[in-house]
Structure 1
């Protein structure tokens, strides 16, 4: 088991190096000049060139990437081109809202989608199965921002049940914190719930056709024990996989959701940095998200080994 964990840890190193190179290359070769934005509309060509030289943007690609990568290896993501604040500090200031939003979305999505998918598979072809199939297809087809605006209009503006925007820190109380995240998490998790429910149903259908399930039924075991104690455990590998893959969906959706609900998280910081072409901030955030996703995949691989010991071999 230890050797398996070490191999998975070592395999993340080339992945992260590749991600760092791709992220830096995309921003380096993208159109636009941050030096011109910083210098202002009235700046002359000489002023823009001085700003570009001061920021080191006139150096060759290899030197810029090497300098940036060396700083990353020393936990230095550079400074913002506009605020001159360390990128790591800016990420730390915006980290709690994003992690809170993703955690609430993930927990509630799994708690809703897995039982729905299990029961839909158990009642294959019935009314519940058909209704959940239609709802899942519709939910997966609706964009995140559309769910956000519709939820804000109905539950915040019309009914007044929930706050429409902003974020309450967890230190201010769990009830205000959770109440502020209900609408954003519901909007972000709509497609995620549909995806997990569909994969759970498909995996359970395959498992329920196995001989040991028929044997359990013949022995008179209850539906709950058959479904959640025997079938779900053996059908869990594809479900765990899609939960891990869906984290990327949550990361991408957080940018839109935080902009809709004015949540001061990493997603909104990303959108603001892209508009201002603040390259160090964009690079730092994307690298942080990529590293987080690699860690999630590593965690999923380790969970595989516990769920099915054969996988580690």
Structure 2
């Protein structure tokens, strides 16, 4: 068990290093001269050279990368080009809305998607199965921003049940915090629900054809026992896998959702930084998102050993 965990942790190190090199290279891969782009059309050559010196573009790539990587390891991502604020402080100010959005989204998705997938597999070919699969197709087909505008119009503007935009910190109370997140989290969870429901249904259909399921039925086991004790437990590995992969959908979807619902999170900061070409902020956000994704997938891999003990050996 310890050897397996050590190998999985060790395998993430090259991935993290590659991500760091790629993220730092964004400044050099940008079309044209980044310093000239940042300086603007009216800038003089002296202005451009000053910006090049500030960004470290007048030094070699290995030297600049070593300095940047050392700062990252200390939690120092440099300063914003436009606001001059430390990038670390800017990110810390925006972390709570994004983390809250992802937690609520994941909770909604798991509560709805897994029972949907199980029900569709149990009632294969029935009206319930067709309705659930229709919802899954719509979840993949309709863009999240369209769903967001429709829900905002129906639940916020017409019915007045929820706020249209904005975010309430959890320090102001759990209920106001939750009310500000229900609408964006429900919107973002649509694709995630569709993905998990489809995978759950496909995996459950395969598991329900196994011999031990037929044996449990022959012994007179109740339907819910067959579904949730015998079948779902053995279907968890692919379901957990797609949950981990779906984190990428939430990260990319958060950029759109936070813009639509005016949430002051990392997704909105990403859009603002890209529009301003604030490279230090862009680099930091992409690196953090990538690192979080790597860690989540590592945790998913380690969870396999709890779900299926055979993987430990």
Q: TM-score by structure 1 length?
A: 0.96
Please name the residue that 1:31 is paired with: 31
Partner residue, 2:222: 222
Match of 1:151 in 2: 151
Q: Does 1:104 pair with 2:101?
A: no
Residues 244-255 of structure 1 correspond to what in structure 2 (within 5 A)? 244-255=244-255
Q: Which runs of 4+ in 1 moved over 4 A?
A: none
Alignment map for 1:125-164 (pairs within 5 Å) = 125-164=125-164
Matches of 2:168 and 2:73, distance apart in 1: 34
Once the 2 structures are TM-superposed, how far is the Cα of residue 66 of structure 1 from its aligned partner?
2.2
User: How far apart, in 2, do the equivalents of 1:208 and 1:76 lie?
Assistant: 52
Shift of 1:38: 4.9
- How many angstroms apart in 1 are the aligned matches of 2:74 and 2:7? 23
Distance in 2, matches of 1:67 and 1:154, equals 51
Between 192-201 and 223-232, the greater mean CA deviation after superposition: 223-232
Aligned to 2:114: 114
Give, in angstroms, the shift of residue 37 of structure 1. Answer: 5.5
Q: Name the count of aligned residue pairs.
A: 313
Q: TM-score, structure 2 length as denominator? A: 0.96
Give distance in 1, aligned partners of 2:309 and 2:181: 37
Q: 1:57-83, CA deviations, whole angstroms, 9 ceiling, x for partnerless residues?
A: 332333322221122122221111111
The aligned residue for residue 92 of structure 1 is 92
Q: CA RMSD in A?
A: 1.4
Instruction: Tell me which residue corresponds to 2:263.
Output: 263
Moved more, 55-64 or 227-236: 55-64
* Alpha-carbon separation, structure 1, partners of 2:239 and 2:117: 10
- Equivalent residue, structure 2, for 1:174: 174
Matched, 1:123 2:123: yes
Q: Post-superposition shift, 1:206?
A: 0.3
Written as runs of structure 1 = structure 2, the 5 A alignment for 1:254-293 is 254-293=254-293
> Which whole-Å CA distance do the structure 2 matches of 1:51 and 1:128 have between them?
61
Instruction: State the SS of the aligned residue for 2:246.
Output: helix
**1:225 Cα deviation from its structure 2 partner:** 0.9
Aligned equivalents of 1:32, 1:261: Cα separation in 2? 34
2:80 aligns with: 80
Where in structure 2 are there 5+ consecutive unaligned residues? Answer: none
Identify if the C-alpha distance between structure 1 residues 250 and 97 changes in structure 2 by more than 3 Å, giving closer, same or farther.
same
User: C-alpha displacement at 1:301, in angstroms?
Assistant: 0.8
Matched residue, 1:5 = 5
Which is further off, 97-106 or 23-32? 23-32
CA distance in 2, matches of 1:55, 1:230: 58
Q: For 1:205-241, what per-residue CA distance to the aligned partner results, in whole angstroms no more than 9, with x for missing partners?
A: 0000011111111222111111011100001110000
Deviations 1:250-277 (A, max 9, x none): 0010000000000000000111111111
How do 1:186-197 residues align onto structure 2 when only pairs under 5 Å count? Answer: 186-197=186-197
- Map of 1:14 onto structure 2: 14
1:49-102, CA deviations, whole angstroms, 9 ceiling, x for partnerless residues? Answer: 222223323323333222211221222211111112222111111000000000
Is 1:236 aligned with 2:236? Answer: yes
CA positional deviation for 1:30: 1.1
Q: CA deviation at 1:34?
A: 4.8
CA distance in 2, matches of 1:247, 1:99: 12
Determine the C-alpha separation between the residues in 2 that align with 1:87 and 1:253.
Answer: 23
Q: Are the counterparts in 2 of residues 96 and 265 from structure 1 also a CA contact under 8 Å?
A: yes
The answer for unaligned runs of 5 or more in structure 1 is none
